[in-house]
Amino acid sequence: MDVKKVLVFGTSGSMKITALENICSKIVHTIALDYGNTIIEDTKIHFFSPPADEKFEFMSDVLSKNVDGVIIFTDNTEGLNETEIMNSMKKDVPHIVVTNVTKSETLNNSLQTLLGLMSPVKETGNETLCHS
């Protein structure tokens, strides 16, 4: 089974915890992070979400080590205010941005997209094959 580490960012009102509760069997809430996991298509995905509180800003750096992908939840009723998060991300980390998503089916489709972006790419001659 493949294992992936995904960081989850989002401000208050972005529905990130509600969305994760819909796909993870259990969410662990602590002061310094939220954690959950799920299995999709023989891939175990570990979700780590640092708090938005400034005093825990260092947790984003700690959790970003060896990350495979990023999900950014936004609240489209307030506009895209996650610019700092997006600008601070490493450009080579696969990521998706979702807005006000709480339905499991919609989130699963988004996760399928992220898994596809995180899949290893194998070059063969003149063509590139993506494995999922």
Give yes or no for residue 36 having a pLDDT over 90: yes
Residues 60-119 have pLDDT tens digits of: 888 888 999 988 887 766 655 555 555 555 567 877 777 766 566 777 788 788 888 887
pLDDT at 92 (0 to 100): 74
Please report the pLDDT score of residue 3 as a whole number.
95
Evaluate whether 49 touches 89 at the Cβ level (below 8 Å): no
Phi, psi angles (nearest 5°) of residue 21: -60, -25
In this structure, of 2-11, 22-31, 48-57, 98-107, the range with the lowest mean pLDDT score is 98-107
Q: Which domains does the chain have, with CATH numbers?
A: 2-130 (3.40.50.300)
